[in-house]
């Protein structure tokens, strides 16, 4: 006589899946003035701000305040004692609209101003 024995076997299979996710965050339109590495004083007449998006680069001009703003321009938060660079509204819109925007703060060369 034979008996049929049914046995339940539990088999655990572990799968490892690596998921990478790119999170895009908007480029800010205000930047703190960086400290100098050699301890020298910040020269507000030797700074430029450049937008790179794809293969296009635009260097913004510095204007004397928010009331002087236009496209591709920026200004200091305080003309006499600056602590931040601020992109004008139209400039900020261009920065945030660019899909792969990168902002470079360039120190050491004469500031580009209108005119």
Q: If we measure between CA atoms, which residue out of 64, 103, 69, 100 comes closest to residue 80? A: 64
Q: Are 106 and 50 in contact (CB under 8 A)?
A: yes
Q: Are 47 and 111 in contact (CB under 8 A)?
A: yes
Q: Are 96 and 29 in contact (CB under 8 A)?
A: yes
For the segment 28-57, the average pLDDT, to the nearest whole number, is 87
Q: If we measure between CA atoms, which residue out of 45, 90, 43, 42 comes closest to residue 64? A: 45
Confidence (pTM): 0.73
Local confidence band at 51 (pLDDT 50, 70, 90 cut-offs):
very high
Strands 61-62 and 73-76: parallel
For the segment 59-86, the average pLDDT, to the nearest whole number, is 95
For the segment 37-55, the average pLDDT, to the nearest whole number, is 87
- Residue 2 has a pLDDT of 47
pLDDT tens sequence across 98-110: 888 899 999 888 9
- Residue 1 has a pLDDT of 47
């Amino acid at each position: 006589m034979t008996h049929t024995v049914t046995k339940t076997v539990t088999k655990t299979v572990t799968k490892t899946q690596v998921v990478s996710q790119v999170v895009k965050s908007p480029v800010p339109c205000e930047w703190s003035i960086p400290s100098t590495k050699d301890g020298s004083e910040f020269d507000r007449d030797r700074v430029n701000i450049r937008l790179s998006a794809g293969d296009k680069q635009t260097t913004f001009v510095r204007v004397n305040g928010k009331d002087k703003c236009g496209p591709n321009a920026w200004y200091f938060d305080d003309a006499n004692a600056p602590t931040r660079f601020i992109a004008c509204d139209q400039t900020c819109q261009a920065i945030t609209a660019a899909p792969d925007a990168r902002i470079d703060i360039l120190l050491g060369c004469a500031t580009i101003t209108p005119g």
